[in-house]
């Protein structure tokens, strides 16, 4: 059983080739054969599942130990990865570095400069090119 769903589309926001939201991956149709990009987005789906499992477990424990009235808060766990990704720069950096490492390992690209450039320019990570190279290839 696949742990993700892929939808190929003609347009994505912000000039990205692919996105992952929860278990749903969207990839531009022109990158349909890019195994590395799919691997990148699948990495984000795995991150979403891991954070979901951790936060849901923690929420269940807190609910059982403190008050069952907190149970509705468990619904927030679905968005934990997205919230961490958006608001916690070290998490976003870790998340993208892991995804680009997987993409590079899978993609068989002739050059991997695109990954360095993406980490420097696209995710508000405050990284220099040397720092990005060290994170990706160090």
Nearest approach in angstroms of CB 126 to Zn ion is: 17
37 binding Zn ion? (CB under 5 A): no
Query: Can you tell me which of 37, 38, 51, 99 binds Zn ion, judged by CB under 5 A?
Result: 99
In whole angstroms, how close is the CB of 40 to Zn ion at the nearest point? Answer: 6
d(CA 112, CA 43): 18
Question: Under DSSP, is residue 115 helix (H, G, I), strand (E, B) or coil?
Answer: helix
Task: Give 17-73 as a DSSP string.
Answer: SEEEETTEEEEEGGGTT-HHHHHHHHHHHHHHHHHHHHHHHHHHHHHHHT-GGGGGG
Which residue sits closest to Zn ion, CB atoms considered?
Answer: 99
Which of the residues 38 through 97 are near Zn ion (CB under 5 A)?
Answer: 96
Across the beta sheet with 18-21, the strand order is 5-9, 24-28, 18-21
Which C-beta is closer to Zn ion: that of 20 or that of 55?
A: 20
Pick the closer one to Zn ion by CB: 39 or 99: 99
* Residue with smaller CB distance to Zn ion, 34 or 96: 96
| Interface residue list for Zn ion (CB under 5 A) | 96, 99
């Amino acid at each position: 059983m696949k742990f993700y769903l892929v939808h190929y589309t003609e347009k994505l926001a912000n000039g990205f080739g692919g996105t992952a939201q929860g278990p749903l991956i969207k990839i531009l149709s022109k990158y349909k054969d890019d195994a590395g990009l799919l691997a990148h987005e699948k990495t984000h789906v795995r991150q979403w599942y891991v954070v979901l499992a951790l936060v849901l477990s923690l929420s269940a424990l807190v609910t059982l130990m403190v008050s069952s009235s907190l149970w509705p808060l468990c619904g927030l766990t679905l968005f934990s990865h997205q919230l961490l990704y958006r608001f916690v720069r070290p998490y976003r950096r870790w998340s993208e570095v892991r995804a680009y490492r997987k993409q590079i390992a899978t993609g068989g690209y002739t050059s991997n400069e695109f990954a360095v450039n993406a980490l420097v320019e696209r995710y508000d990570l405050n990284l220099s090119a040397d720092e990005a190279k060290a994170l990706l290839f160090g």
